[in-house]
Amino acid sequence: MYDNIPEKVTNIIVTGKSGAGKQPRIDVLVEEFELEQLSTGNIFRSYLGKFNEFGYDGDLDKFWDGESFIPDEEIAEELGTDDPDIILGMKAKYFVDKGLFVPDFITNQLFKAFFKRKDHRNQVLDGYPRTVDQAKFLMELLEDKNSKVDFILWVENEDDMIVERTVNRRICPECGKVYHLIYAPPPDGKCELCGVDVILRSDDTEDKIRSRLKEFKDKVIPAMKYLEEQGIHIAKVPGHLEEFTPENVRKSVLSAVEYIYG
C-alpha cells in the first residue's frame, strides 16, 4: 500500500479555496510525514485577536491611503500605542475582515519570520503562497536556504458547497480546531480539546466568502500555475467525500500523493 510515497519530505504546500476542507487533509500530512502546520490565516487571526482585545473602535479606513498604510509612527499616535503586534493586528484586520488578501509585502515578511523558526523545513504551508509574488518570494527563499517544496496538495470544492460549509463553520479561538454545526458539531458549543466556546470567524459571512472565492480565482490559481511551471507537482483531492470518515480522508490524500510519485 502506498509503496511509492517517500518516507520523508521537506515541505508541502496545501492550497484550496478558503473553506474547501483543507484542515482534515493537513492533519493527515502532518501525521504521515511528521510535519508542523504553518498557517498564515491562523497567524493573521492571532494578531487580529490581539488588536480586538486592545479595544480600538475607530474607523480603520483612515490608516490606508488606497495604496499603502500611513507611516507606523502616525498609526501608533492615533492608536495610542507603538506595540508592533497591535499595529500589525490592525493591518491584518483591515483586510481579513473585508475578505481580501493581506498585501504581499506584509504577508511575505511575516511568513519569512515564521518559516525560519523550524529552519525552513518540515512544514505544511497552509494558505501560503496565495499570489504569484508570494510564490516567487518563496522560491527565492527556498533556494537561498537550500530547502524545497516536495509537492502541492490542492483541495478542490464547488463554490456553493463552500458557502454552505463556511457559514456553518465554527473554530476554537484557542487551538484553531475546526467544527461544523451539522457534520462535526462542537459538544455543548465548546471545543472538545480546550473547553472554550467555539466562534464564528469574523470573515465567515456570505459576502466575505464570495469575495475570498474571487481572490482565489484571480490570484491563487495563477500562483499555483507558476509553481507548477517551476516543476512542483500538484496532487488534487476532492474536498467533498460521500462518506467523510478519517479513513476515507487519509486514503484520498495518500492515493493522490502516491499518484504523483508513481
| Site of interaction with ligand AMP (CB under 6 A) | 18, 40-41, 44, 95-96, 99-102, 107, 127-128, 130, 134, 203, 212
Q: How far is the CB of 111 from ligand AMP (least distance, A)?
A: 7
Comparing CB distances to ligand AMP, the nearer of 107 and 252 is: 107
Residue whose CB is nearest to ligand AMP in the complex, by number: 41
Q: How far is the CB of 234 from ligand AMP (least distance, A)?
A: 17
Q: Which of 152, 178, 113, 158 is nearest to 233 (CA)?
A: 152
Query: 94, 84 in Cβ contact below 8 A?
Result: no
User: Which one-letter DSSP state was computed for residue 131?
Assistant: S
Q: Which of 15, 12, 14, 9 is nearest to 33 (CA)?
A: 9
Q: How far is the CB of 107 from ligand AMP (least distance, A)?
A: 4
User: Which one-letter DSSP state was computed for residue 262?
Assistant: -
Comparing CB distances to ligand AMP, the nearer of 17 and 254 is: 17
Q: How far is the CB of 82 from ligand AMP (least distance, A)?
A: 24
162 vs 139: CA distance, rounded Å: 30
Comparing CB distances to ligand AMP, the nearer of 51 and 95 is: 95
Strand pairing class (11-16; 178-180): unpaired
Comparing CB distances to ligand AMP, the nearer of 86 and 155 is: 155
